[in-house]
Amino acid sequence: MAEEHEDIPVLIVGAGPAGLMTAVELTRRGVPVRIIEKLEESSPYSKALGVWPRTFELFRRIDPTKRMEVLGQYQAGIRYYTDGRELVTLPYTDHARATVLPQPEVEGFLEAELKSRDVLVERGKELKSTYTNDNGDIVAIVNDVGNPQQQESISCHYLVGADGASSLVRKERGIEFTGDTYPATFVVADAHIEGNLDPALTHYFCSTQGVMVVSALPNGEYRFFTSALPNQDPDTMDLAALQQIVDSRAFTTRIKLRDYSWISAFRVHARQASRIRDGRVFLVGDAAHIHSPAGGQGLNTGVADAHNLAWKMAAVYHEKAVERLLDTYALERRPVATDVVKSADQQTKLWVLSGRYKIALRNALLKIAAHTPYFSHVYFPRLAGVRFRYASMRTRQGRDGKYVGELIRNCDVFDVRSGKMTSLRLALPDDRYTILIDGAVRRGELLGVLSGARVLGLEVRTLLRSESRLEVGPRFLSRAARGLPKKNRVYLVRPDGYVAYFGDDIGVKTLRDITYAAPQKGESVY
């Protein structure tokens, strides 16, 4: 007999990075949640490592001290080797660089934030089944792992599946998880080494024997991700077997393993859920998509899923937006997952090329690309999460508006309100839409914008390129508006920093349509 419990707006299943981030973003926006996790203790193993700038940007919203960046291992770039010989070194740019930060650090940071808000991860709680009640709410049947006879029934308005690649939430909704599995067995290990590997670089050893990626960890160990040798038994992987792999890939680069804290053999999958929303049920992170570790996108994509869903769910919960806003979660995030899965797959196949001519072509292309802006202006910023465009935002509006669907370009600004220099994206509020007026536009030209902002309760901020006065709201004084157009224009910026509108003027009806704003009581939709 299941014990009945009072309703909760949101139940989150799974306390990995995506689940924890969903819980944090909802609670800091005033939405009550419960989060359950079948593991009785968090895993101590490093697992996911790479954290990109956009993820840190989201973390600074939670904790402005930047302590998470300090905990990580700074990365200056990546170095490719072919048959043990250095091929090319590709430096990161200032705004598109990876930091090595083990997953337990990320999870500890997020869980501590939840605890500070009086929300505890309920560990040892396993989801067994779900159904929809007469009110349309989702009812989750949850067992106590230590005492399976102890069962409770949790009713929630929304259910978030963050329960990993084997997601029961996904299976309960009959959602397919299609894709492929790589034929090779891969090995991941954290070990101390003797050798001269630059800890500020990620090292890619490509050879006819397979691939090996090595990154320094903050604790002095190195992470090894590699494919096993054909004659190796993955069930008996140990230090000697790992050393054999290292010797076959590094060749002239002498790397001697001293000991290891973790070693695991596994298969790599590239799969994606056929849908990530089913009514009031949503999937985030590995429950929605899994892929090769290539590019270090797994943790970052899951965190971005969580942030995208949470701010929208909070807006609907507080009746600031209509339910249709939640439709955009799948419209925006599923193409991202498709792109990440495809990109990681392409990188993995590039690593494990065999055949002399294919390898020679790969090496030649890497050398050529290193002397072009491709890596610094396209590839790394895309991995960093600062150059992805939500195409559906433009399509829905039926216009080719420049900048729509992109993150507002960052620049250094002086925030008059706080009296401090900061970045533009961090200076904009993340709990409401902002009308950003770029330039000294005359008041008479902004009557529609200002009336719309007043009706819908939007923030109005002004980015001035000079110290000319414009009393339309709190102001920014720009030190360097790099990357923004020189012409005075109006932006509508979403709580997550993405541009929802860019133009000369915008009326109340258009603002309402774009923001999915809910009408006030007694107010007409238009």
Residues in the chain with pLDDT < 70? Answer: 1-6, 46, 252, 352-353, 395-401, 439-448, 465-488, 505, 520-526
Strands 475-480 and 412-415: what pairing?
antiparallel
Query: What is the Cα 396 distance to its own chain's centre?
Result: 23
Alpha-carbon distance 287 to 283, whole Å? 6
Element (H, E) at 508: helix 508-515
Residue 26 to residues 62, 245, 317, 322, Cα–Cα distance (Å): 12, 45, 10, 17
Q: What is the pLDDT of residues 87-112, one digit of tens each?
A: 889 999 878 888 899 999 999 999 99
Residues 446, 390, 22: CA angle, nearest 5 degrees: 100
- Helix axis angle for 327-351 and 298-317, nearest 10°, is 180
Strands 222-227 and 147-161: what pairing?
unpaired
Q: What is the pLDDT of residues 57-76, one digit of tens each?
A: 999 999 988 888 888 888 99
Q: What is the pLDDT of residues 166-218, one digit of tens each?
A: 999 999 999 999 998 887 788 999 999 988 889 999 998 887 777 889 999 99
Element (H, E) at 203: strand 201-207
Name the burial class of residue 202, with classes exposed (0-12), middle (13-18) and buried (19+) by CB atoms within 10 angstroms of its CB.
Answer: buried
Query: What is the Cα 167 distance to its own chain's centre?
Result: 19
Alpha-carbon distance 357 to 152, whole Å? 61
Alpha-carbon distance 193 to 83, whole Å? 20
Structural domains in the chain, sorted by start: 3-69+100-177+273-347 (3.50.50.60), 391-515 (3.40.30.120)
